[in-house]
Each structure stands twice: as structure tokens, then as C-alpha cells.
């Protein structure tokens, strides 16, 4: 069964639909895997016809973040590395996937990959994410819930009722 992120975070650079400069990635989570299919726009060009490496890193990092989210883990990137197998084209359908490989309690190990539509592997990434706990987690959740309410079109009606 697919799971999608709640409405909060609409300004997230990677997946926020309301961010005019964002990547607008849409993820689904099935089992332990988070996946997004997309086409990289020309404004994210590095060398002519190729995606900028920083944009590619963001996409892979976001896939790993969504894999954590899908497992109910609140975490953020502590360490990230990627290896290009081939250049990443602009304007072609691509798919990125991320998954948890090991949950060590405070730290979560993840992997992600980026493929062309024909299945050719372009980039492989590994990440170490730090679990967010305690007061920091409570604060993030509270801010997230407040953002959800603020971003809901009927929020004013619901609160002024």
C-alpha cells in the first residue's frame, strides 16, 4: 500500500509543491522503499544537457529521508556520499529510490539509487542519518503540525469557527 506525506512541508525544497524554486518531487512509500519518478528541468543544469551534481545529491538525500519517514523514523542526514556511474540527463524520465539498510538505534544506514526509465543505474548513494529524539523531536513535530494547519486552505475557518 502506498503512503504519501501529509500536507505540511509544502515549502520543502525537494518535495514541496508550493515552493516556486523547488524540485516538486512526489514520493510514494511501499514497504521499506521510498520512490519518486520525475524529469529534471533545464534550470538544474550543470554541464550542457546534464543535471548539476548538487541537485542530484538533493534528490538522493530526499529519497533516503522519505525511506526513514516511511518507517516512522524522524531523522536527518549526518553523512552522505554518492558515486556517479553515468551522467544524469536533463529532460528525461528518471526514478530515484531510497531504503533503510540497517537501523542501529541512534543512527540509521540507508542507500539510494537513481535510474533512467530504461533501468540503467546512473548514481548510487549511501547515507548515515541521525535519529531525532527528545525535545528536539517534539519541537519539530509541533512546528510541522503548526505548518500543516497554516497551509490548510480552510485553516482560518476551522480556527475562527
Annotated catalytic residues are 61
- Taking every pair of Cα atoms in the chain, the longest distance, rounded to a whole number of angstroms, is 56
Ranges of beta strands (E only) in the chain are 27-30, 33-39, 75-84, 93-103, 107-116, 121-131
- In angstroms, rounded to a whole number, what is the distance separating the alpha carbons of residues 18 and 11? 5
Neighbours of 67 (CB within 10 A): 28
Contacts of 31 (CB under 8 A, 6+ apart): none
The two beta strands, 33-39 and 75-84, are: unpaired
Q: Which residues pair with 50 in a beta bridge?
A: 89
How many Cα atoms within 13 Å fall on the side-chain side of residue 133? 6
Amino acid at each position: 500500500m502506498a503512503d504519501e506525506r501529509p500536507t505540511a512541508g509544502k515549502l520543502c525544497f525537494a518535495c514541496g509543491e508550493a515552493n516556486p524554486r523547488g524540485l516538486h518531487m512526489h514520493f510514494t512509500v511501499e514497504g521499506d522503499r521510498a520512490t519518486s519518478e520525475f524529469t529534471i528541468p533545464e534550470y538544474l543544469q550543470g554541464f550542457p544537457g546534464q543535471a548539476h551534481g548538487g541537485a542530484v545529491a538533493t534528490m538522493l538525500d530526499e529519497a533516503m529521508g522519505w525511506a526513514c519517514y516511511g518507517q516512522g523514523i524522524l531523522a536527518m542526514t549526518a553523512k552522505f556520499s554518492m558515486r556517479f556511474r553515468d551522467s544524469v540527463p536533463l529532460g528525461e524520465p528518471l526514478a530515484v529510490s531510497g531504503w533503510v539498510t540497517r537501523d542501529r538505534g541512534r543512527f540509521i544506514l540507508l542507500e539510494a539509487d537513481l535510474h533512467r526509465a530504461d533501468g540503467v543505474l546512473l548514481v548510487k548513494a549511501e547515507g548515515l542519518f541521525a535519529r531525532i529524539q527528545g525535545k528536539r523531536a517534539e519541537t519539530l513535530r509541533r512546528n510541522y503540525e503548526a505548518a500543516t494547519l497554516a497551509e490548510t486552505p480552510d485553516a482560518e475557518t476551522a480556527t475562527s469557527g
